[in-house]
Chains A and B, each alone.
Chain A
Amino acid sequence: MPTHDSPGLAWGRPPTAELSIVEGATGVVIRDGHVTYSGPGDPSAGPLFHNLEAEFAGGLFTCLLGSSGVGKSSLLRMIAGLPPRQGTASGTVTDLDGKSLTGRVVYMDQRDLLLPWLTVLDNVLLGARLRGEPRQRGSALGLLAAVGLSGWEDARPEQLSGGMRQRAALARTLMENRPIVLMDEPFQALDAITRLALQDLSARLLAGRTVILVTHDPIEALRLGHHVQVLAGRPARLDPPVAPPGLPPRDPADPALVGMYRVLIARLQSAATQLAASKT
């Protein structure tokens, strides 16, 4: 097991040996996934996904790695039950027993999507407000403390820095307390230090849930994923999962990861070359 020390990071995670899976954190199965993209770009390039079959392990972090435009977000939106931003989608997304995931999923975007008219606390409690459930102020305050936002509960989002806003979004995601967590490049817009801190925090607070995290950063994938899968090609295919050694969040300077990093970069580069070749 790699030792993990992160000097200067406020929310470092003590390494834990065993993994306890959150109840209901089932695997996710995609069958017969089709997505056609009708936005700007080459229409002759064909569908983003064609007969896509995929399975993601329950209770673990799976990081989906791919270049921009390969369909990472479309895949995540499909799992979340959201229609594609542009284009059409079909396919079935279920748990291992073939049951729909509705009501068991929470989705976190690369933008914080905090509502500007609500306080930070009310943003964290948005799900309860929408469902008409009693608002658990105490738990929300606890989560805000866990993401380092104690004392900011009554602030409006505009008063927060980008990193703080994304931490508030993480608290809102955690407040939903869903076994399946979908994250679309959640730390992409942050500076390096804040990103490391938030990655640690997410690894700690989301442990035991089925997390599917989309990223184009191989280091992030290797830091956080129990499994790392590359999404490449058009129509896109998922490579078999790679399992980096040790438990997330890993130290990106770990020599074992450097080798995997080279392999992943080579894979992404060859995918990019293929894509460029198929377009000409």
Chain B
Amino acid sequence: MIAIVLRNIGRAAVTLAGLVALWQGLVWATGVAPYILPAPRLVASAWLGQVDYLLTNSAVTAAEMLLGLLFGGVLGAGSAILIASIAPARRWLLPVLVVSQAVPVFALAPVLVLWLGYGMASKVAMATLIIYFPVAGAFLDGLRRTEPGWLDLASVMTQNRWAILRSVRIPAALPALASGLRVAAAVAPIGAIIGEWVGSGAGLGFVMLHANGRAQTDLMFAALATLSALALLTYFTVDWSLRRAMPWQPETAADDGRF
């Protein structure tokens, strides 16, 4: 297990090194000005020079993402259960679910900032909004597709639909919820950053916007790299915890030679 993790990390490091080499090659080959595309070395020194500033602002963005994941996850899972189990809820909530995704979040960002202010609340709301749909959609899908045989078995054992929901339908749909949460973890940074772009005083989006305005392209790239690292860390943490939480989920490894 540890060997596999190390091998994966090693592979990721090689890929990363290749990309950086390509980037450096591009800078050398084109001789482009550093304010258009700074060399990796410049970005690295900008990162090291402003490490406190970048990390403080990362913490803000990370908090926005995590709170968004929490609220979006709970709201999404909650509405999926309501929609799947109560017929009137289906009629009332399903349109809300679709609309939540049909309205471009970008268009809502200024309104949210207007209502909730320049602080963290508007960014958390934005992240929640963008996370809500994949979680609710995937979980609802899972809840609707319970193996009919399991439901037959359970309904001969009890008349209590809530017990069947709790002990059969919800656990059966957890792998679907996990897929939704993985997508959510991947899109969480988008929500937070959009919110910060529209108006904020802290966060990586704020840093990027600010650096861009002052033509500090190296700092902008440093912030971008930090954001990517944060996004990857979030995704893999969520992915890992979900795997740990659902050991019964059969896993077909992509490298077992069948694909």
Contact = CB atoms under 8 A, between A and B. Distances in A.
Contacts of B164: 130
A264 interface: no
B250 A158 contact: yes
B52 interface: no
Contact of B158 (A77, A105, A117, A130): A130
Interface in A93-129: 102, 105-107, 109, 111, 113, 115-117, 126-127, 129
Contacts of A81: 156
B171 A113 contact: no
Q: Which of B147, B156, B248 has the most CB of A within 10 A?
A: B156
A156 interface: yes
Contact of A109 (B152, B159, B167): B152
B253 to A, nearest CB: 16
B105 interface: no
B158 A131 contact: yes
Question: Most chain-B CB neighbours within 10 Å: which of A77, A80, A129?
Answer: A129
Contact of A113 (B150, B174, B248, B250): B150
Interface string B100-127: 0000000000000000000000000000
A130 B156 contact: no
Given A130-B164, A132-B163, A158-B248, A113 B149 contact: yes
A176 B250 CA distance: 29
Nearest to B159: A102
Contacts of B87: none
A139 B155 CA distance: 23
Contact count band on A: 20 to 34
B148 interface: yes
B160 A109 contact: no
A115 B150 contact: yes
Nearest to A108: B153
A85 interface: yes
Contact of A106 (B156, B159, B250): B156
Contacts of A111: 149
Contact of A126 (B154, B172, B247): B154
Nearest to A107: B156
Given A127-B157, A176-B157, A117 B248 contact: yes
Interface in B235-259: 246-248, 250
A256 interface: no
Given A117-B171, A117-B246, A131-B163, A82 B157 contact: no
B149, B152, B153, B160, most chain A CB atoms within 10 A: B153
B163 A107 contact: no
B174 A117 contact: yes
Contact of A115 (B155, B168, B246, B247): B168
A277 B91 CA distance: 49
Nearest to A103: B159
A127 B148 contact: no
Interface in B89-107: none
7 contacts: A80-B152, A102-B159, A107-B152, A107-B156, A113-B150, A115-B171, A127-B157
Interface of B: 147-150, 152-160, 163-164, 167-168, 171-172, 174, 246-248, 250
